[in-house]
Structure 1
Amino acid sequence: MGAEQAKTRRKKGVIYSKENNEIVDCLFCRIVRGESPVNPLWYRDDQCAVFIPRGPAGRLHLLIVPLQHIQTIDTLTEEHRPLLEHMKKVAMEQLCVHAQHIGTVESPLLPLAPPPSHYAFNRGHLPVLLSSSEIVKDEKISMDPSFIFCFHRPPYNSIDHLHLHAIQKPFRSCWNRFMFAEHAPWHGSMHNVLLNLSSVNAKL
Structure 2
Amino acid sequence: MGSVQARTRNRKGVTYSTDNNEVVDCLFCRIVRGESPANHLWYRDDQCAMFIPRGPAARLHFLIVPLVHIRTINSLTEEHRPLLEHMRKVAMEQLRVHAQHIGSAEAPLLPLAAPPDQYAFNRGHLPALHSSSDVYKDETTPIDLSFDLCFHRPPYNSIDHLHLHALQKPHRTWRSRLMFTENAPWHASLDSVLHHLSSPKSKL
Question: What band does the TM-score fall into relative to the shorter chain?
Answer: 0.7 to 0.9
Partner secondary structure for residue 149 of structure 1: strand
Q: Which residue of 1 aligns with 2:150?
A: 150
Note the 1:4-153 alignment, pairs <5 A: 7-102=7-102, 107-117=107-117, 119-125=119-125, 132=132, 134-139=134-139, 142-153=142-153
1:53-93 deviation line (CA, Å, top 9, x unaligned): 01001000000000000000001000100000100111000
Q: Which residue of 1 aligns with 2:186?
A: 186
1:9-49 deviation line (CA, Å, top 9, x unaligned): 00000001111111110000000001111111000000000
Distance 1:143 1:47, change over 3 A: same
Partner secondary structure for residue 162 of structure 2: coil
Distance 1:125 1:112, change over 3 A: farther
Aligned partner of 2:135: which letter? I
Please give the alpha-carbon distance, in whole angstroms, between the structure 1 residues aligned to 2:129 and 2:185: 43
Aligned partner of 1:81: which letter? R
Unaligned regions of 5+ residues in structure 1, if any?
none
Q: Which residue of 2 aligns with 1:175?
A: 175
Superposed CA RMSD in Å reads 2.6
Partner secondary structure for residue 98 of structure 1: helix
Note the 1:159-174 alignment, pairs <5 A: 159-174=159-174
Please give the alpha-carbon distance, in whole angstroms, between the structure 1 residues aligned to 2:200 and 2:66: 22
Distance 1:40 1:141, change over 3 A: farther
Q: CA deviation at 1:108?
A: 4.1
Count of residues paired in the alignment: 199
Contact kept, 8 Å, 2:96 with 2:135, in 1: the verdict is no
Distance 1:13 1:92, change over 3 A: same
TM-score (norm 2): 0.87
Q: CA deviation at 1:138?
A: 3.3
Q: CA deviation at 1:101?
A: 2.0
Q: CA deviation at 1:150?
A: 0.2
Q: CA deviation at 1:121?
A: 2.7
Partner secondary structure for residue 148 of structure 2: strand
Contact kept, 8 Å, 1:95 with 1:167, in 2: the verdict is yes
Q: CA deviation at 1:116?
A: 2.2
TM-score (norm 1): 0.87
Unaligned regions of 5+ residues in structure 2, if any?
none
Partner secondary structure for residue 81 of structure 1: helix
Query: Identity percentage over the alignment?
Result: 72
